[in-house]
Amino acid sequence: MNGNSHTSDDALLLASFALGDAVFGIDAQQIQEVAKVGEITPARHAPACVIGIRNLRGRVITVLDLRIRLELGAVQIGHDSRVLIVEGEGGEPVGLLVDRVDDMIAVNPKDIMAAPPNMNGVKNRNLRGVFRGGKRLVAVLDLASVLHTDLGEGLTQEKLTA
């Protein structure tokens, strides 16, 4: 490659997904796996965005409705709905319920722009920025902010099932 080309090391690989009509992306390296929704057991004493827990091959996973977390309504679970398994605080697996998983997108980090100022509140706090991916605008999530413990001090599976 010549000096003007971007190598694959320069690109950020994003996993894109839909929440309603909006397209979001997170760093693909942060996703451990993508799972079908499966059976979710409701969680008591949990914030509204925590829809329950799920057993995934012997691992208990807290499942968050990402649309509720971002104040975008609620996911209507359907055939295309998926749960993105990521590592939460303390190393515990967390599932992010999304409407649909789309493509993997390679993005030059320099092409990610600041989120527009009209995207205020929790949604803007949870964004690293936005970029134009073809004809669509993709919002890049800051996973650490999305999973921050303001969901509940010390939120653990033990508390959810107590």
pLDDT above 80: residue 158: no
Query: What are the helix and strand counts (H, E) for the chain?
Result: 4, 10
pLDDT above 50: residue 25: yes
The pLDDT tens digits for 106-151 are 999 999 998 877 765 556 788 899 998 778 889 999 999 898 856 5
Q: Does the domain made of 12-146 have the CATH classification 3.40.30.10? A: no
The pLDDT assigned to 115 comes to: 81
Average confidence (pLDDT) over 54-71? 93
The neighbouring-strand residues paired with 55 are: 60
Token representation of residue 43: 């969680």
Domain map of the chain by residue range? 12-146
Token representation of residue 9: 């090391």
The pLDDT assigned to 123 comes to: 66
Determine the Cα–Cα distance for residues 116 and 108; give it in Å rounded to an integer.
Answer: 19
Look at 56 and 123; give whichever has higher pLDDT. Answer: 56
Residue given tokens 């649909």 in the structure block:
100
Which pTM value belongs to this model? 0.83
Determine the Cα–Cα distance for residues 132 and 112; give it in Å rounded to an integer.
Answer: 8
Determine the Cα–Cα distance for residues 123 and 140; give it in Å rounded to an integer.
Answer: 11
The pLDDT tens digits for 78-96 are 999 999 999 988 888 999 9
Which of the residue ranges 34-38, 95-99, 158-162 would you say has the lowest mean pLDDT?
158-162
Average confidence (pLDDT) over 45-72? 92
Determine the Cα–Cα distance for residues 49 and 31; give it in Å rounded to an integer.
Answer: 19
pLDDT above 80: residue 55: yes
The pLDDT assigned to 83 comes to: 97
pLDDT above 60: residue 160: no
Length of the chain: 162
